[in-house]
Amino acid sequence: MLLEGVPIEERHIAQLADLLPTALANKLTVARRLGSQVVRLSVEEREQIVSTLEHSPGRLDDDLRYLILRQTSWRHR
């Protein structure tokens, strides 16, 4: 799945959804279940994901953290 232009494996989407606020977790879970190939995120949703990655380092796969945190465009409006 492409999550705002970043290729993310299904298992990582599920792992991330477990830590996100309910509304965003539901959005990703539904997209995954429906087999969506591309998911667009709002600025606020990207910020929620970045914040989760920064504040839960031990609970997420290092590859996933690196893949998203290197996306500087996710940090700018």
End-to-end CA, the chain:
23
Q: Do the Cβ atoms of 69 and 6 come closer than 8 Å?
A: no
Q: Cβ distance 64 to 11 under 8 Å?
A: no
Where do the structural domains in the chain lie, given as residue ranges?
2-75
**pLDDT, tens digit (0-9, with 9 covering 90-100), for 55-66:** 876 777 778 878
Q: For position 76, what pLDDT does the model report? A: 58
How buried is residue 56: exposed, middle or buried, by Cβ count under 10 Å (0-12/13-18/19+)?
middle
pLDDT at 66: 81
For 4-46, the pLDDT digits (tens) are 888 988 888 988 899 999 999 999 999 999 999 999 999 899 9
